[in-house]
């Protein structure tokens, strides 16, 4: 059954943006099932796209294709094959055995994340459409990658917006370990696929962790929001004088200790601190502590633009404190993974933090998510991770 849009609401589809909001829709047949495939028509009855239907979400339809072609098993096979080919072209396997294989909208499969961790694929289905095709997609993934094990981590909060309950568990394969070791460049990391954040590891920061390593020699490093120590291990392995890692999660810090042990980096140069970064930065300021390098990689403060104002204050707060704690010539590696804050706004927030801290600073590098998390030109929302390397004057 087709969905007809309201007059003048076809514009974003003509620009090949894949989302259709509820307000753009004139009428939907009551019988249309959640996740099923529908034709999207302009108010004049012109075919615009073929999409999945999400009856509960404000994003009521997500485009599978702008062509008049069948959406079937072979359609998904073509999409998955081309996502695999892109990663082969990136030669990502030379650097790591853990990377993103399918990045949702940007790989032409809205709602579907697939990350590869050695011989396990971790699948996250976030929308009614990806849910509808999940079993088919799982079969194709096994056939096209040759990997037998797929573990499902469909437990992200955004599923609620689609009226979907959290689902986790084995989707394909049997008897495989969910605590595994991956490598990134020449370092190893323990990953808990069952309980870890996201699909287990922050794969999107791989390049940025490497970059931290390149600047770390002889530096006193403070790694805030350290999770399982990705940035800390890279810094220690590259000759940091000291590394202080802070996170509020005891489980994450326990894995960080394992990561120090398996990489044989100098444990005596490392300290873990369980606590709240907002409070600890204040404590360090009051105690006149200082560092050569500070990393700020907080969780998503603004999932959508509606949270941007409150989130901006939180980003400004930690960046301001970090500028104060940095020595002259010190480096700030600061990130935001909030969809609701774009790169330009993030830069403004960091600038106003420097201003209020009373320091001069320059940006020496703009950072983003790794290229295994590509961004469709028609879907700028795909560029969620932004970062800056700043040097304090």
Q: Is 368 in the site for ligand SAH (CB under 6 A)?
A: no
Toward ligand SAH, which CB reaches closer, 49 or 252? 252
Shortest CB 223 distance to ligand SAH, Å: 7
* Nearest CB to ligand SAH, comparing residues 164 and 296: 296
Q: Decide: is 247 part of the binding site for ligand SAH (CB under 6 A).
A: yes
Q: Which residues contact 370 (CB under 8 A, 6 or more apart)?
A: 99, 100, 203, 204, 205, 206, 207
252 contributes a contact to ligand SAH by CB under 6 A: yes
CB 65 within 8 A of CB 49: yes
Q: Which helix (H) or strand (E) holds 282?
A: helix 277-286
Rule CB under 6 A: is residue 183 a binding residue for ligand SAH?
no
Identify which range of 6-14, 118-126, 272-280, 345-353 contacts ligand SAH by CB under 6 A: 272-280
- For residue 7, how many C-alpha atoms fall within 13 Å in the half-sphere facing its CB? 0
Token pair in block for residue 156: 């992200």
Beta-carbon contacts of residue 30 (< 8 Å; ≥ 6 apart)? none
| Region from 219-227, 320-328, 361-369, 372-380 binding ligand SAH, contact rule CB under 6 A | 219-227
- Of 119, 166, 113, nearest to 145 by C-alpha is 119
Cα angle value 249/255/258 (rounded, 5°) = 150
SS3 state at 66? coil
Contacts to ligand SAH from residues 109-138, by CB under 6 A? none
Q: What distance in Å separates the CA atoms of residue 226 and residue 204, rounded to the nearest whole number? A: 14
Which of 166, 299, 380, 393 touches ligand SAH (CB under 6 A)? 299
**Nearer CB in complex with ligand SAH: 77/179:** 179
Distance of CA 272 to the CA centre of its chain: 24
> Is position 315 an interface residue for ligand SAH (rule: CB under 6 A)?
no
Residue 249 in the binding site for ligand SAH (CB under 6 A) = yes
Could you give the CA distance from residue 367 to residue 281 in angstroms, rounded to a whole number? 24
Residues identified as active-site: 337
Q: Which is nearer to ligand SAH, 131 or 204 (CB)?
A: 204
Q: How far is the CB of 31 from ligand SAH (least distance, A)?
A: 43
Percent helix, strand, coil in the chain, to 5, is: 35, 30, 35
Binding residue for ligand SAH (CB under 6 A) from 97, 145, 181, 248?
A: 248
Q: Does 322 bind ligand SAH (CB under 6 A)?
A: no
CA 164 vs CA 39, 154, 214: distances in Å: 23, 9, 43
User: Which of residues 75, 132, 231, 384 is near ligand SAH by CB under 6 A?
Assistant: 231
What residues contact residue 209 under an 8 Å CB cut-off, 6+ apart?
A: 184, 230, 231, 234
227 binds ligand SAH, rule: CB under 6 A = yes
Please give the angle made by the CA atoms of 293, 294 and 298, to the nearest 5 degrees: 155
Which range binds ligand SAH by CB under 6 A, 81-89, 142-150, 224-232, 306-314? Answer: 224-232
Query: Quick check: 200 binds ligand SAH (CB under 6 A)?
Result: no
Span near ligand SAH by CB under 6 A; candidates 7-15, 22-30, 170-178, 296-304? 296-304
Is 244 among the residues that bind ligand SAH (CB under 6 A)?
no
Binding segment toward ligand SAH, per CB under 6 A, in 21-29, 69-77, 247-255, 374-382: 247-255
User: Which residue of 19, 76, 225, 291 would you call a contact of ligand SAH, by CB under 6 A?
Assistant: 225
Binding mask 275-294 for ligand SAH (x = CB under 6 A): -xxx----------------
Count the site residues for ligand SAH by CB under 6 A.
Answer: 20
**Closer to ligand SAH at the Cβ: 105 or 297?**
297
Q: At closest approach, how far in Å is the CB of 74 from ligand SAH?
A: 37
| DSSP string over 283-344 | HHHHTT--EEEEEE----S-SSGGGHHHHHHHHHHHHHHHHHHEEEEEEEEEEE--TTS-HH
Residues lying near ligand SAH in the complex (CB under 6 A) = 202, 205, 209, 225-228, 230-231, 246-249, 252, 276-278, 297-299
């Amino acid at each position: 059954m087709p969905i007809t849009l309201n007059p003048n609401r076809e514009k974003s589809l003509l620009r090949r943006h894949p989302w259709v909001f509820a307000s753009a829709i004139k009428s939907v047949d009551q019988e249309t099932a959640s996740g099923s495939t529908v034709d999207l028509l302009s108010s004049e009855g012109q075919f615009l796209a073929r999409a999945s239907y999400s009856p509960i979400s404000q994003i009521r339809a997500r485009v599978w294709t702008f062509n008049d072609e069948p959406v079937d098993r072979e359609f998904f096979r073509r999409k998955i094959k081309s996502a695999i080919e892109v990663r082969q072209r990136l030669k990502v396997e030379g650097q790591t055995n853990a990377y993103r294989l399918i990045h949702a909208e940007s790989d032409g499969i809205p709602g579907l994340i697939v990350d590869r961790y050695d011989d396990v694929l971790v699948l996250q289905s976030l929308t009614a459409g990806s849910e509808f095709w999940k079993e088919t997609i799982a079969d194709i993934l096994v056939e096209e990658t040759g990997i037998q094990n797929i573990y499902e981590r469909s437990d992200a909060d955004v599923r609620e917006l689609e009226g979907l309950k959290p689902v986790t568990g084995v989707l394909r394969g049997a008897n495989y370990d969910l605590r595994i070791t991956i490598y990134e460049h020449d370092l190893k990391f323990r990953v808990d696929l069952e309980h870890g954040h996201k699909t287990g590891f922050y794969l999107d920061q791989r390049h940025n962790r490497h970059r931290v390593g390149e600047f770390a020699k002889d530096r006193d490093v403070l790694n805030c929001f350290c999770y399982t120590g990705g940035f800390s291990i890279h810094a220690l392995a590259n000759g940091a004088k000291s590394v202080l890692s802070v996170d509020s999660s005891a489980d994450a810090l326990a894995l960080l200790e394992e990561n120090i042990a398996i990489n044989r980096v100098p444990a005596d140069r490392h300290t873990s601190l369980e606590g709240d970064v907002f409070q600890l930065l204040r404590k360090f300021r009051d105690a006149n502590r200082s560092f050569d390098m500070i990393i700020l990689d907080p969780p998503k403060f603004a999932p959508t633009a509606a949270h941007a104002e409150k989130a901006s204050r939180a980003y400004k707060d930690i960046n301001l404190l970090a500028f104060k704690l940095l020595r002259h010539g010190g480096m700030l590696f600061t990130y935001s993974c909030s969809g609701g804050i774009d790169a330009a706004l993030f830069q403004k927030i960091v600038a106003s933090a420097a201003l209020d801290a009373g320091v001069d600073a320059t940006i020496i590098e703009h950072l983003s998510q790794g290229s295994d998390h590509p961004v469709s030109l028609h879907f700028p929302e795909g560029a969620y991770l932004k970062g800056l390397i700043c040097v304090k004057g």
